[in-house]
Chains A and B, each alone.
Chain A
Amino acid sequence: MIALESVTKRYGAKTIIHDMSFTVEKGEIVGFLGPNGAGKTTTIRMIAGYTTATSGRVTVAGFDMATQNVEAAREIGYLPEHPPLYDILDVAAYLRFVAKVKGVSRTEMAAELERVTAACHLEDVFRREIFKLSKGYRQRVGLAQALLGKPQVLLLDEPTIGLDPAQIHETREAIRSFGEGHAVLLSTHILPEVTMICRRVAIINRGRLLAIDTPEGLRQAVERTNQVALQATAPADALRQELLSVDGVNAVQMDPAPGDAGRLSVECKVDARDGIEAAIARVVAGRWELHGLERREPTLENVFLHYVHAAPVVEKAA
C-alpha cells in the first residue's frame, strides 16, 4: 500500500532523507522509530503528499505521490504531528468539513461521523468548540479526522502524544483494530508502544533507514548485546580469568559493587546460546561466593540504541 523507492529529500544543500526504501503492506502496522530530528516527520509528510521527494518515488495505493497526490489523498488518513484543527469550529463542524472534502456522501455522513466519534471517544465534546478542548481531546479529534472516509492507508505521526495513560491505552487499541485491513505507519519514540502494536519496526536516524524488521527479528539481529550480569565476592583478576575461560563469554567488565567491600559487579558479554548463564554460575559458585546472576535479553530499547549509535555519522559539507 505504501512504497518508498530510494527516496531522497533535500532542502537546499541539506539532505534530510537519504535514499530511503521500504514498504508497508495492507493489514500491517509498521512502527517508525527514531530520535527527534531523525526525519520521521519529513518522511511521513512525503507519504502524505504534503511535500515531495527530491528524488526517488513514493507510491500510495498505487498512486505516484509526485503527480497523483490528490487521487491518492482519498485513500490516506493522516494525523500530522500537530493535529491540524480549526479552533473556532466545533468538533462536529470540523469533522463534517473534512468528511465532505473526502467525498463522504450526504446519506452516509451521519453514520460516518458517528463511527469515528465512537472510535475516538468524542461523544462528550461533539458540540464543543475545538479551542475549548484539552490536549488529549485535540489529539483524538485529529485522529478522528484521519479515520474519516475509511482510508486504506493511515499515517499517524506520534498519535499518543499528550494523552493520559487511559487514553493512550484506548488509542492503541483503536489503532490496533485499524491495522486489520489497513496499512498503518505509526511514528513514535515511545518504545513499548511499538512492541505492543506494530508488526514491523523501521528504525531511522539522521535521515537513513537503519533497519526494518519484526521486533523479534531486530532483537535477534543484535543478540550480541546479550549480557549476563552477576555479583560475586572474589579476587578480580582470578574471577576475570575464570569467566573468560567459559566457552561463549566474549568480554568481561567489572566494577566494585557499591557498599560492600570485596564484592564485584560484573557484566559479561556473551554469545546468544542456552545454558550459558548456568555455566557461568557453576564456574563462579564453585570457587567463590555468588550473590546473584541474571541474563539480560536485549530489549527493544537496546536494539534501538544499538542501531542509532552504530549509525555512521556522515555530515556532508554544505
Chain B
Amino acid sequence: MSSVLALYQKELWHYFRSPIAYFVVAVFMLGTGYFFTYNIFYTGIASMAGTFQNMGILLLLVIPVVSMRLFSGEYSAGTMELLQTLPLRPWQVVLGKYLGAVTILLLMTSATLIDLVPLYLFGDPETTTIAAGYIGFVLLGMACLAIGQFFSALTENQIVAALITVSVLVAFWFVGHLQSFQTSYVLYALFGYLSFSGQFGAFVQGLVRSEAVLFYLIVCAIALTLNASYLQWRR
C-alpha cells in the first residue's frame, strides 16, 4: 500500500506543480457559478437540482482534461518504462493514479460548496436533497474518471485519449434517450440502467438508492480492472 501512496503523492505533485489542478478547479467553479446564478434567478427556488444537472454535463467535458494525461503522459514521457520496471503491480499503478484523480474531483466538488452560502443565507434549501445530489455527483465523477483513465492507457496521444473519453461519456450520458425507440423491454430497461444521467437524476431528486450507488461503483470497478489488465497484457 505504501507504493500506492507514493504514486498517489507523485500524482498530486503533478497536479499542483502544473496548471492542471488550478485550471480545472477554476473552470469548474466558473461554469458551476454561472449555472447556479442562472438557475436561481430563473426559478427563484432555493434548490440545487437544476445546477446539479448542469454540473453533470460540465463534468463530461472537464473529466477528460484531468484523465487524459494519466497514462498517455507517462507513455510519451517514457516514464511508463519506469513504472513498469519498479516493484509495482499494475493494480497499484492504476489505483495510485486513480486516487490522485479522485482527489482533484473532490477538490472540484468542494469548491462548488461556496454556492451554498447564498442559498442558505437567503433561502431555506433541503439539506438532505443537496447532500444526496453531491453524493451522486461524486459517484458520477468517479465513474467518468475511471473510464477516462482506461482510455488514457490505450493511447500515447493525450488529445486522442480526451476525445475518445468525451465521446464515450457523452454516449453514456444520453443513452437513456434511446429508450423511447425500444419495443423490447429488455433493451428499454438496459438503456435506462446504463444512462449516467438517469442514474444521476435520482440523486438530484434527493434519493440515494443503493442500486444507483452500486451502478456507479460497478462502472468504476470494470473500468479500473480493464485498465490494470491492459497494463499487464501490454508487457
Q: Which residues of A contact B (CB under 8 A)?
A: 45, 48-52, 69-71, 73-74, 76, 78, 80, 82-89, 93, 97-98, 100-103, 129, 145
Contacts and interface: CB of A to CB of B under 8 A. Distances in A.
A274 B66 CA distance: 72
B77 A87 contact: yes
A303 B3 CA distance: 46
Given A70-B88, A102-B86, A93 B13 contact: yes
Contacts of B10: 86, 89, 93, 97
A80 B81 contact: yes
Q: Which 4 A-B pairs have the closest CB atoms?
A: A100-B6, A84-B82, A73-B87, A84-B79
**Which of the listed residues B7, B9, B85, B88 has the most CB atoms from chain A within 10 Å of its own CB?**
B85
Contacts of A101: 3, 6-7, 86-88
Nearest to B7: A101
Given A49-B85, A51-B235, 4 more contacts: A50-B81, A71-B87, A73-B87, A80-B85
A45 B5 CA distance: 26
A48 B87 CA distance: 11
Contacts of B2: 100, 103
Given A97-B10, A101-B7, A49 B84 contact: yes
Interface in B12-35: 13-14, 17-18
A145 B83 CA distance: 12
B64 to A, nearest CB: 20
Contacts of A102: 86-87
B81 A88 contact: no
User: At the interface, is chain B mostly helix, strand, loop or mixed?
Assistant: helix
A213 to B, nearest CB: 29
A165 B3 CA distance: 37
Contacts of A84: 77-82
Contacts of A70: 87-89
Interface size class of B (residues with CB under 8 A): 20 to 34
A80 B87 contact: no
A160 to B, nearest CB: 18
**Which of the listed residues A82, A101, A129 has the most CB atoms from chain B within 10 Å of its own CB?**
A101
14 contacts: A51-B235, A73-B87, A78-B82, A80-B81, A82-B78, A84-B77, A84-B81, A88-B13, A89-B10, A97-B9, A100-B3, A100-B5, A101-B87, A103-B87
Contacts, number: 80
Given A84-B79, A86-B79, A100-B3, A78 B14 contact: no
A98 B82 contact: yes
A102 B85 CA distance: 10
Contact of A50 (B18, B85, B88): B85
A97 B100 CA distance: 15
A129 B235 CA distance: 30
A83 B3 CA distance: 21
A80 B78 CA distance: 9
Given A50-B84, A98-B86, A88 B14 contact: yes
A52 to B, nearest CB: 5
A87 B84 CA distance: 18
Contacts of B235: 49-52, 69
B7 to A, nearest CB: 7
A51 B231 CA distance: 11
Contacts of A88: 13-14, 17-18
**Which of the listed residues B2, B82, B84, B88 has the most CB atoms from chain A within 10 Å of its own CB?**
B82
B182 to A, nearest CB: 42
B231 to A, nearest CB: 12
Nearest to A100: B6
A84 B10 CA distance: 14
A98 to B, nearest CB: 7
